Amino acid sequence: MRRLFLRGVAGCLLSACDGIEKFGTYDQYNHLTTDPIPIEMPPNANYISEQFGRGGEVEGLPHEGIDIWGKIGTPVIAAAPGRVSASFYEPGHGNTVIVEHGRDTDGEKVRTVYKHLKTREVAKGAQVARGELVGIMGATGALAMLIHLHFEVRRASGEDYYVAKDPMLYWVKGPGKVTCFEPGKQYSDQPFRITYPVPCR
């Protein structure tokens, strides 16, 4: 937690607490993560500051998604089409949106989760298309420290117990091949595949 606090203070000093924009780069997997996935990052995609795996928001606990840096006002978009099942604020992760994507070809239910939003732009029950605005990047919640999007992919073989999965497994172009959303492009809804939850510049 101390490391995260110091990183947040340093980030504020460098960016006037308005957020940090870097493109085309990413942090490697934590050394405790098993089987890291080789990554291909588009040069116009916002920086990924933390990968899925161990050593996350609280040292020693799993980091259940990826963190994407940006500035206040950066749009956050749906990574796949679906229905908003929750849009709420909670103290730890701040403004949060959850989008349900139905069942994958293997019969498992899939959802994506968007945390630390400055604002939520969709309400529970809304249908969203891939690339549609769901929120604005921010730093809400006690665990935020820096302006970023914490993004998760979760799957459930049963009715209610969703397990966090590495988002790097689900890009449209294949595992590790970060895929920017392209307006007007046709995407298949099955099998479940995602595009980057922040517009590439």
b/e burial code for range 76-111 (CB count within 10 A of at least 16 → b): bbbbbbbbbeebeeeeebbbbbbbbbeebeeebbbb
pLDDT digits (tens, 9 = 90+) for 94-147: 999 999 999 999 899 999 999 999 999 999 999 999 999 999 999 999 989 899
Tokens at 73, concatenated: 């006002």
Q: Quote the pLDDT of residue 55.
A: 53
What domains does the chain contain, in order, with CATH numbers? 2-169 (2.70.70.10)
CB atoms within 10 A of CB 39: 17
User: For the whole model, what pTM was predicted?
Assistant: 0.89
- The CA distance from 161 to 159, in Å, is 6
